[in-house]
């Protein structure tokens, strides 16, 4: 009988698929996750005179509200030479200094552009527009080193949502330009490694489809990095949270990396505060079981946190548009298209979803 039990036990242990995590392990609720929020608009919003309130309605500095809620990491986008000065190195450095003073980690999303960089936009900075490819590599190296020296972030992305590559057309991921893309990435990585022993490097793409191919190219070309970053928004990347879970686990094991949901968001309402069209405004854009209510938003974020907790490859999550309230007035047509997905309601009061960041 003892022999039989032993055989059964061994069969169970060896049948465990490590990617499914069926074998018992540490209590997942105790993981030290990245619990991040992106607040890149904050300097512009504060400049407009907006005051934020905590869940009790008490006016406070936003960083204090986030810190008290359990947020441990602040993500900030960086543009090379922005037309307005917002998201410039000077502004980002000042915000990063404030973040560090609160005891939170700084995560930089470097766009390598003068404006938004994403799967549909990866435009070189104007200052580099006529550079030869050799000079472009040097520019990436020197610029990244300048950023590292000025800010010394805890996490840095070499590019933002770089599915098609970055610094297009030179650094695309197509067959003819893939070697250039890899060379540019490696120059950014080199600058980080030469400047810091502690900063973690993230490679970041949008969505779940195609992510495996992308990270396969990095692996095949020996690109050095620490974290896989994925943007996940149900409106664009699918509404099946089981796919999110399986993708995090499969990518983590395939490339021996920790995985972060680098961007996500969900609405607390389908209504609006200003006259700027909101990106999410219909029930058909929602995940089943998670209505566009304060509780629905909170439960959605708690579910993503649970997914990252349970996965041995889940390193954390970051909420995008935390601060992007209607800061230009109730009738602005160029205000916020994200006001109903912020972590502050139409009265600039903290929403229940911030409870998902608790330690």
Assess whether the previous peptide bond of 169 is cis (omega < 30° from 0). Answer: yes
The number of distinct structural domains making up the chain is: 1
359 part of the active site: no
- Whether 109 maps to a domain, the answer reads yes
Q: List all residues 6 or more positions away from 95 whose beta carbon is below 8 Å from its beta carbon.
A: 39, 42, 43, 74, 76
- Whether 58 maps to a domain, the answer reads yes
Query: What pLDDT, on the 0 to 100 scale, is given for residue 329?
Result: 93
Sign of CA dihedral 95, 97, 100, 106: positive
- Whether 6 maps to a domain, the answer reads no
Average pLDDT over residues 148-155: 98
Is the pLDDT at 17 greater than 60? The verdict is no
Is the pLDDT at 5 greater than 80? The verdict is no
C-alpha–C-alpha distance, residues 332 and 240, integer Å: 35
263 part of the active site: yes
- Whether 67 maps to a domain, the answer reads yes
Query: What pLDDT, on the 0 to 100 scale, is given for residue 30?
Result: 56
Is the pLDDT at 26 greater than 60? The verdict is no
Residues β-bridged to residue 243: none
- Give the percent of the chain with pLDDT over 90: 91
- Identify the band that residue 229 occupies on the pLDDT scale cut at 50, 70 and 90: very high
Q: Give the helix/strand (H/E) hosting 252.
A: helix 241-255
- Whether 22 maps to a domain, the answer reads no
Find the radius of gyration of the CA atoms of the chain: 21
Residue 280: CATH number of its domain = 3.20.20.80
Question: Average per-residue pLDDT in the chain?
Answer: 93
Is the pLDDT at 25 greater than 90? The verdict is no
Is the pLDDT at 3 greater than 60? The verdict is no
C-alpha–C-alpha distance, residues 46 and 41, integer Å: 9
Of the listed 161, 200, 273, 323, which one is catalytic?
161
Q: Give the structural domain span for 63.
A: 28-357
- Whether 55 maps to a domain, the answer reads yes
- Identify the band that residue 22 occupies on the pLDDT scale cut at 50, 70 and 90: very low
Q: Which pairs from 134-138 meet CB under 8 Å and 24+ separation?
A: 136/167, 136/170, 136/171, 136/184, 137/183, 137/184, 137/187, 138/187
Of the listed 200, 263, 273, 323, which one is catalytic?
263
Query: What pLDDT, on the 0 to 100 scale, is given for residue 31?
Result: 79
pLDDT in tens, 56-111: 999 999 999 999 999 999 999 999 999 999 999 999 999 999 999 999 999 999 99
- Whether 309 maps to a domain, the answer reads yes
- Identify the band that residue 6 occupies on the pLDDT scale cut at 50, 70 and 90: very low
Average pLDDT over residues 223-235: 98
Is the pLDDT at 237 greater than 50? The verdict is yes
Is the pLDDT at 260 greater than 80? The verdict is yes
- Give the percent of the chain with pLDDT over 70: 92
- Whether 18 maps to a domain, the answer reads no
Query: What pLDDT, on the 0 to 100 scale, is given for residue 269?
Result: 98
Query: What pLDDT, on the 0 to 100 scale, is given for residue 4?
Result: 34
What pTM was estimated for this model as a whole? 0.91
Query: What pLDDT, on the 0 to 100 scale, is given for residue 271?
Result: 97
pLDDT in tens, 288-307: 999 999 999 999 999 999 99
């Amino acid at each position: 009988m003892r022999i039989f039990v032993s055989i059964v036990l061994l069969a169970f242990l060896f049948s465990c698929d490590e990617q499914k995590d069926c074998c018992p392990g540490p209590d997942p609720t105790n993981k030290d996750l990245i619990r991040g929020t992106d607040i890149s608009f904050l300097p512009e919003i504060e400049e407009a005179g907006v005051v934020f309130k905590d869940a009790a309605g008490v006016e406070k500095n936003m960083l204090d509200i986030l810190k008290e809620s359990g947020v441990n990491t602040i993500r900030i986008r960086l543009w090379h030479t922005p037309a307005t000065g917002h998201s410039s190195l000077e502004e980002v450095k000042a915000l990063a200094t404030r973040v560090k003073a609160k005891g939170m980690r700084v995560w930089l999303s470097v766009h390598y552009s003068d404006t938004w960089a994403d799967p549909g936009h990866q435009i070189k900075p104007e200052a580099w527009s006529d550079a030869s490819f050799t000079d472009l590599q040097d520019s990436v190296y020197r610029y990244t080193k300048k950023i590292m020296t000025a800010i010394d972030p805890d996490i840095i992305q070499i590019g933002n949502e770089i599915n098609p590559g970055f610094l297009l057309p030179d650094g695309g991921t197509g067959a003819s330009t893939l070697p250039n893309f890899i060379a540019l990435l490696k120059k950014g990585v080199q600058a980080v490694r030469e400047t810091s022993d502690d900063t973690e490097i993230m490679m970041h793409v949008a969505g779940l489809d195609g992510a495996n191919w992308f990270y396969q190219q990095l692996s095949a070309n020996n690109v050095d990095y620490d974290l896989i970053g994925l943007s996940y928004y149900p409106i664009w990347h699918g509404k099946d949270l089981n796919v999110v879970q399986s993708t995090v686990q499969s990518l983590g094991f395939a490339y021996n990396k920790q995985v972060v949901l680098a961007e996500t968001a969900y609405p607390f309402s389908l209504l609006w505060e200003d006259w700027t069209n909101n990106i999410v405004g219909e029930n058909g854009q929602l995940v089943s079981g998670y209505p566009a209510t304060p509780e629905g938003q909170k439960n959605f974020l708690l579910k993503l946190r649970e997914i990252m907790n349970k996965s041995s490859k889940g390193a954390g999550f970051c909420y995008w548009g935390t601060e992007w309230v209607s800061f230009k007035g109730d009738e602005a047509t160029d205000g916020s298209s994200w006001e109903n997905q912020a972590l502050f309601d139409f009265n600039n009061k903290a929403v229940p979803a911030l409870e998902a960041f608790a330690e």
